[in-house]
Structure 1
Amino acid sequence: MSPSRAGDFKQCPLLYRFRAVDRLPEVPTRAQVRGTVVHAVLEDLFGLPAGERTPEVAKNLLGPAWERVREERPEFAGLFDSADDPELGEWLLSAEGLLDGYFELEDPRRFEPDARELLVESELPSGVLLRGYVDRVDVAPTGEIRVVDYKTGAAPRLVGEAKALFQMKFYALVLWKLRGVVPRQLRLMYLADKQALAYTPDEAELTRFERTLEAIWEAILRAGRTGDFRPNPSRLCDYCDHKAFCPAFDGTPPPYPGWPEPDASVETPLDRVD
C-alpha cells in the first residue's frame, strides 16, 4: 500500500478501484508533468557539490531534466507539438518560477541531505507492505531526522493540508520502523507560493496512524473480495478522469476484473506532485 493509493481509498473507494484494480489510464496535465520535472531538477541539484547549488545552475538543469523525463515516460511527449512550440518555452519559464520559490525557502548549499528520492518499505504485523518514495531525508549531527516533501502547487486549504499530512505521516511511520527513530520534523515545501509547513509527530500518534492504515487495508480487502467499491462524491470529482465510468454521474464502471494479488501499488511520479 502506498500513501497515494491509501489516500485514494479514503477519498473515494471507487477511485481506488479505477486506479489500483482496473488501472484505467489517466491523462497527465502540464502542471503535473512540470511538477515531475521540478522534482527531478531538485534531485539532480543535490547531486552537485554544495557550492554549485545556485538558482542559475538549477534553471540550467531544467532542459536536461525535461528531456530525461520525456524519454522515461513516452506519454509525456505529446504535451507539446514540437521542441519549437512556443508554449513549451512558457511552460519551462513557469518551472523556473517554481525553482525561484524553492530558493526563497531554503539555501541548499548549507547542508547535505541523507537521502533523496528514497524508496522506503516496511511490513506491518498484519502483513501489509507499506511502500513509498520520500523526496528528501535530512539527518542532523545529533541524529534527528527531517522528512521533506516538495509540492509544486500552492499551500492547500484544510482538506488538502490533511491529505498532505496523511502522506507525510505514512513516510514518518515507515522511517520509524526502518530506523528506529521517530522523525523530528515533517516539512512540506509549497513552491508556488513560497510557503513551508512543518509538523512534529510523536510515537503515540504514529502508533495510532499505524492502526488507521491497518483499518484502511482491511476495508480495501473487504471491498476487493466483493467488488463493492462505492463512489464518494465530493468537490474533488471535478478533477477526476473517470467520471464517465462513475455511477454518481450516471456512468457505468467496467466489469469488475476480480481482486488481483495484493499489490503495494508503488506511487508514480505524478502521484507525488500534488
Structure 2
Amino acid sequence: MKGPRPARTKRVPSTLSVGLRNVGAVQGQLGFDAMPAKLVKVTPSKLATWADCPRRYRMAYVDRPTPPRGGAFAHNTLGAVVHNALRAFYDLPVGRRTPEMAAALVGQHWKDEGFQHPKQAAEYRSRAIGWVVDYIAGVDVTDDPVGLERWVSAPAGKLIVEGRVDRIDERDGELVIVDYKTGRHALTTDDARGSQALALYVIAARRTLRRPCTRVELHHLPSGTVAAWEHTEESLARHHKRAQESAEDFQLATDTLAAGGDPDVLFPSQPGRQCGWCDFRRSCPEGQAAAPADEPWAMLVP
C-alpha cells in the first residue's frame, strides 16, 4: 500500500528538550560522558506515556514507590475482557472453537470494574459477546496463530525493543502482527501505518521469531473492520528513529534526576484533555486544573 508519509509522532515539548540539553554540563561533571552507552529498553507503552506527559512517565516508571493510581475505567475493562476471551479461544483445540464457546469465554472473563451500574455492565457484556462471536465468524478459526499475547524483544540500534503482541499469524511464510481494538471509533490505514507500537512489534518479532515480517493489522471488533499496512525498511527506520530520539530524552531525564536534578524541570506536566482520565490525576495539581475528572464509563463505545 502506498500513500503520504505518516505525520511525525508528537515529541516532548521544545522547552523540555532545551532543558535536557542544558544538563550536559552536569552529566560531564559526573563523568557520564566517559561511561559506555547503554541500551535503553523501550516498550510502546513507555514511549506513548512519555510523549503524552513526561510527568506521568516519571510517576509510572521512575518514582518509587509509585504514586497511588486512580480506579478502573470501564473501557479498559471491556478491552481486557475481549483480549482475554480471544486468547483463551485460540488456546482451545480447533474442534472446540465454536461461537458458543466464544460467548462463554467472554462471560468467564467478564468483570464489572468501572461501569456505572450493573445494568450498564450487563449491556456491555452482551455487546462484547456479540463482537467476539461476529469476529470469529469472519476468520478461519482452524488456523493456529504463531503467538498469542506473545512477548517479543530484540536489540535495535541503541534500543532493546520489547512488547506483548495480541496475536502473531503466519501467512504465506511471513509473520503478520495483529492488534485487537475495542475503542469508540473505527480505524483506518493511516492508523495502521502511523502506529509506532505496531512498527516496533515488527522489528522485535523479526528477531525473536527469525522470520520475515512487514504486515500489521488493527482489528476493530465493534465495527468489524481491519486496517492494515505493509511496512518497508524505510518506514520501519523512521519509526525506529523516533523511538530512539524519545528514549534518549527520557533516559537522560531519568539519569539526571538520579544525580539530583529537579523533577519538575526534567519531567514537566503536559496539561490537556487527557488529564481527565490520567491514572495519577490525584497527585498532579496541574492536571486537576486542566480538565474535570471523567466518569469511569465516559469513554465506552456509545
Q: Under TM normalisation by the shorter chain, which class is it?
A: 0.7 to 0.9
Q: Residues 29 and 79 from structure 1, CA distance in 2 versus in 1: closer, same or farther, beyond 3 angstroms?
A: closer
- Highest CA radius of gyration, 1 or 2? 2
2:196 is the counterpart of 1:196: no
- TM-superposed deviation, 1:244: 4.0
Number of the residue aligned with 1:63: 107
- TM-superposed deviation, 1:34: 1.9
Give the alignment partner of residue 167 of structure 1, picking from 153, 177, 197.
197
Summarize the alignment of residues 6-155 of structure 1 with structure 2, pairs less than 5 Å apart: 6-22=47-63, 23-24=66-67, 25-66=69-110, 85-103=118-136, 106-126=138-158, 128-140=159-171, 142-155=172-185
Over residues 27-50 of structure 1, what are the superposed CA-to-partner deviations in whole Å (9 max), with x where a residue is unaligned?
211221121111111011112233
Amino acid at match of 2:281: K
- TM-superposed deviation, 1:26: 3.2
Give the alignment partner of residue 236 of structure 2, picking from 193, 202, 206.
206
Q: Residues 175 and 28 from structure 1, CA distance in 2 versus in 1: closer, same or farther, beyond 3 angstroms?
A: same
Residues 130 and 174 of structure 1 are in contact (CA less than 8 Å); yes or no, is this contact kept in structure 2? Answer: yes
For structure 2, the residue ranges without an aligned partner over 5 or more in a row are 1-41, 290-300
Amino acid at match of 1:171: Y
- Aligned counterparts of 1:168 and 1:45: Cα–Cα separation in 2: 23
Matched residue pairs, number? 237
Q: Residues 93 and 42 from structure 1, CA distance in 2 versus in 1: closer, same or farther, beyond 3 angstroms?
A: same
Over residues 201-258 of structure 1, what are the superposed CA-to-partner deviations in whole Å (9 max), with x where a residue is unaligned?
111222232222221111001221233112223332332233343353477xxxxxxx
- Aligned counterparts of 1:213 and 1:223: Cα–Cα separation in 2: 15
**The residue matched to 1:121 in structure 2 has which SS?**
strand
- TM-score by length of structure 2 reads 0.68
Residues 101 and 192 of structure 1 are in contact (CA less than 8 Å); yes or no, is this contact kept in structure 2? Answer: no
**The residue matched to 1:230 in structure 2 has which SS?**
coil
2:36 is the counterpart of 1:4: no
Q: Residues 37 and 201 from structure 1, CA distance in 2 versus in 1: closer, same or farther, beyond 3 angstroms?
A: same
2:290 is the counterpart of 1:246: no
For structure 1, the residue ranges without an aligned partner over 5 or more in a row are 71-76, 252-273
Residues 181 and 219 of structure 2 are in contact (CA less than 8 Å); yes or no, is this contact kept in structure 1? Answer: yes
- TM-score by length of structure 1 reads 0.75
Q: CA RMSD of the aligned region, Å?
A: 3.0
Residues 192 and 227 of structure 2 are in contact (CA less than 8 Å); yes or no, is this contact kept in structure 1? Answer: no
Residues 154 and 190 of structure 1 are in contact (CA less than 8 Å); yes or no, is this contact kept in structure 2? Answer: no
- TM-superposed deviation, 1:79: 5.3
Q: Residues 97 and 48 from structure 1, CA distance in 2 versus in 1: closer, same or farther, beyond 3 angstroms?
A: same
**The residue matched to 1:231 in structure 2 has which SS?**
coil
